[in-house]
Amino acid sequence: MALLFRSFFATAVTGQFMMNSKGLPTNGVQGFMKHLLMAADHVKPTHIIVCWDMGSQTFRNEVFNDYKSNRNAPPVELIPQFDLAKEVAEGFNLSNVGVVGYEADDCIGTLAKLHRSERKVSVLSGDQDLLQLLDDNIDIMLLKKGFGNYQTYTKDLFVEERGITPEQFIDVKALMGDTSDGYPGVKGIGEKTAMKLIQQYQDISGILANLHELTPSQRKKIEEDLDMLHVSRKLAEIHCEVPLSVSVDEARWEHVSHDTLTLVDELELKVLRRFLVGSNVLSASS
Task: Calculate the CA 118 to chain-centre distance.
Answer: 22
Report the distance separating Cα 188 and Cα 231, nearest Å: 17
Report the distance separating Cα 9 and Cα 24, nearest Å: 16
Residues 6 or more apart whose Cβ sits within 8 Å of residue 81: 4, 8, 25, 26, 27, 28, 29
Q: For residue range 131-172, what is the model confidence (pLDDT) as tens digits?
A: 999 999 999 999 998 899 999 999 999 999 999 999 999 999
Alpha helices for the chain (secondary structure H): 2-12, 27-43, 59-63, 79-91, 104-115, 155-162, 166-176, 191-201, 204-209, 216-224, 226-236, 260-266, 270-277, 280-283
| pLDDT for residue 31 is more than 90 | yes
**Interval 105-113 mean pLDDT:** 97
Domain ranges in the chain with CATH number 1.10.150.20:
163-236
CB distance 125 to 137 below 8 Å: no
Query: Half-sphere exposure (CA, 13 Å, Cβ side) for 111?
Result: 27
Q: For residue range 40-53, what is the model confidence (pLDDT) as tens digits?
A: 999 999 999 999 99
| pLDDT for residue 249 is more than 80 | yes
**Interval 115-131 mean pLDDT:** 95
Point out which residues pair with 25 in neighbouring strands: 19
Report the distance separating Cα 139 and Cα 123, nearest Å: 6
| pLDDT for residue 124 is more than 70 | yes
Q: For residue range 50-101, what is the model confidence (pLDDT) as tens digits?
A: 999 998 899 999 999 999 988 888 999 999 999 999 999 999 999 999 999 9
* Domain over 163-236 is classified CATH 1.10.150.20: yes
CB distance 17 to 27 below 8 Å: yes
| pLDDT for residue 282 is more than 80 | no
Residue 283: predicted pLDDT: 52
Point out which residues pair with 97 in neighbouring strands: 51
* Residue 83 neighbours by CB distance under 10 Å: 10
| pLDDT for residue 285 is more than 80 | no
| Residue of higher predicted confidence among 140 and 250 | 140
DSSP state of 252: B
- Print the SS3 string covering 180-194: CCCECCCCCCCHHHH
| pLDDT for residue 281 is more than 80 | no
Report the distance separating Cα 63 and Cα 236, nearest Å: 11
Rounding to the nearest 10 degrees, give the CA dihedral for residues 231, 109, 133, 60: -10
Residue 70: predicted pLDDT: 86
* Domain over 2-161+239-283 is classified CATH 3.40.50.300: no
| pLDDT for residue 23 is more than 60 | yes
Point out which residues pair with 138 in neighbouring strands: 121, 135
Domain ranges in the chain with CATH number 3.40.50.1010:
2-161+239-283
